[in-house]
Amino acid sequence: MGIVGGGLTGLALADRLHRAGRSVRLFEGRDRLGGRVSTARIGTQWFDLGPSWFWPGQPRMAALVQQLGLEVFAQYAEGAQLFETAQGVVIRDRGFASMQGSLRLRGGMGALVHALAARLPMGCVQTGQVVRSVSADGVLGFAEGDPQAFDQVVLAVPPRVAASLAFTPDIQATVRSALEAVPTWMAGHAKFVAVYDAPFWREDGLSGDASSQLGPLAEIHDASADGGGALFGFLGVPAAMRAGRRDEVISASVAQLTRLFGPHAASPVEVFYTDWAEENLTAVAADRAPLTHHPAYGRPSALVPRQDSRLFFASSELAPEMGGYLEGALAAAEQVAGWVLAAPVG
């Protein structure tokens, strides 16, 4: 069994299939596992540059973090929120509802990926292996290195990224258009994190939550970890306007945090900035158009495997429920594992 993609879907699928006795090889194009899960570190502190949260009512995430012995804690949300008008006027105690009740993981979401990967057999996961082509008889072609053949192949990559691979023979037009029609959740977004020596805003009675009509950060939250302080924000600037302007975006974001949280915010000890729209193993050109709402995800009928299928598509966006979220990645892995195990092989 060959799995393409070492995001949460691919890893959870590999884990399920391995535990069901299947021999699994997983190929990840980046030089790290996790995909949209990406956690930066400074010493013992960690900072999520992709997903930060899961939520009560997501049973697969709750069960997995418990099984893996990971520590869950609540998003910090005590204190006043800030709202910045388009004219730069800062108003206290106003703005969007905070993310109160959202759950974070000690070690960040990277801890989940790390723990899941650690229980796979040695050598079954290879990073830095970009798959370029897939043949109907299960041969994967790589950007570098020899092709490899498998009895079954799962493309655990965002549907639009799957559509960009070379298929021989080509996939049916209905399958291609179904893949291309599924927007990748958060792929058009960018996240900025500013790290400080302490969460100084808490002493001012602020939660760290803010929303802004001026930007460049549209929505800001506390991202503190292990004693240090950090604020993160989602960029409100569209992908096309951010492109190639990393330094400008970073300095405008620090300036905005200073307007909102005071002079201490002007001197972060570190900043991190990930523009997911620029990551070609996550986003395609169509993902640069900002999504205005969470799409109604689900598996289009053209992507439901036939009884004799050897090729399967998986990703959070194709999940039977909670599509787009981490919980959806686990739900997709669960569903596709069932299909793979039921399919005739050989």
Ligand X SMILES: Cc1cc2nc3c(=O)[nH]c(=O)nc-3n(C[C@H](O)[C@H](O)[C@H](O)COP(=O)(O)OP(=O)(O)OC[C@H]3O[C@@H](n4cnc5c(N)ncnc54)[C@H](O)[C@@H]3O)c2cc1C
Question: Which residues lie near ligand X (CB under 6 A)?
Answer: 4-10, 27-30, 35-37, 50-54, 130-131, 156-158, 161, 185-186, 189, 191, 276, 281-282, 315-316, 324-326, 328-329
- Minimum Å gap between C-beta 264 and ligand X is 26
Closest CB to ligand X: residue number: 7
- Minimum Å gap between C-beta 149 and ligand X is 16
Q: Choose between 151 and 279: whose C-beta lies nearer to ligand X.
A: 279
- Minimum Å gap between C-beta 91 and ligand X is 26
Name the nearest CA neighbour of 156 among 67, 301, 240, 35.
35
Q: Choose between 48 and 84: whose C-beta lies nearer to ligand X.
A: 48
3-class DSSP string for the chain? CEEECCEHHHHHHHHHHHHCCCCCEEECCCCCCECCCCEEEECCEEEECCCCCECCCCHHHHHHHHHCCCCEEECCCCCEEEEECCCCCEEECCCCCCCCCCEEECCCHHHHHHHHHHCCCCCCEECCCCEEEEECCCEEEECCCCCEECCCEEECCCHHHHHCCEEECCCCHHHHHHHHCCCCCCCCCEEEEEEECCCHHHHCCEEEEEEECCCCEEEEEECCCCCCEEEEEEECCCHHHHCCCHHHHHHHHHHHHHHHHCHHHHCCCEEEEEEHHHCCCCCCHHHHCCCCCCCCCCCCHHHCCCCCCCEEECCHHHCCCCCCCHHHHHHHHHHHHHHHHHCCCC
Q: Choose between 90 and 243: whose C-beta lies nearer to ligand X.
A: 243
Q: Choose between 12 and 252: whose C-beta lies nearer to ligand X.
A: 12
Q: Choose between 112 and 257: whose C-beta lies nearer to ligand X.
A: 112
Q: Choose between 68 and 90: whose C-beta lies nearer to ligand X.
A: 68
In this structure, the strands spanning 125-126 and 270-275 are: unpaired
- Minimum Å gap between C-beta 186 and ligand X is 3
- Minimum Å gap between C-beta 205 and ligand X is 26
- Minimum Å gap between C-beta 335 and ligand X is 12
Q: Choose between 103 and 265: whose C-beta lies nearer to ligand X.
A: 103
- Minimum Å gap between C-beta 90 and ligand X is 25
In this structure, the strands spanning 217-222 and 206-212 are: antiparallel
- Minimum Å gap between C-beta 89 and ligand X is 28
Q: Choose between 30 and 242: whose C-beta lies nearer to ligand X.
A: 30
Distance separating alpha carbons of residues 342 and 47, to the nearest angstrom:
40
Q: Choose between 50 and 108: whose C-beta lies nearer to ligand X.
A: 50
- Minimum Å gap between C-beta 269 and ligand X is 22
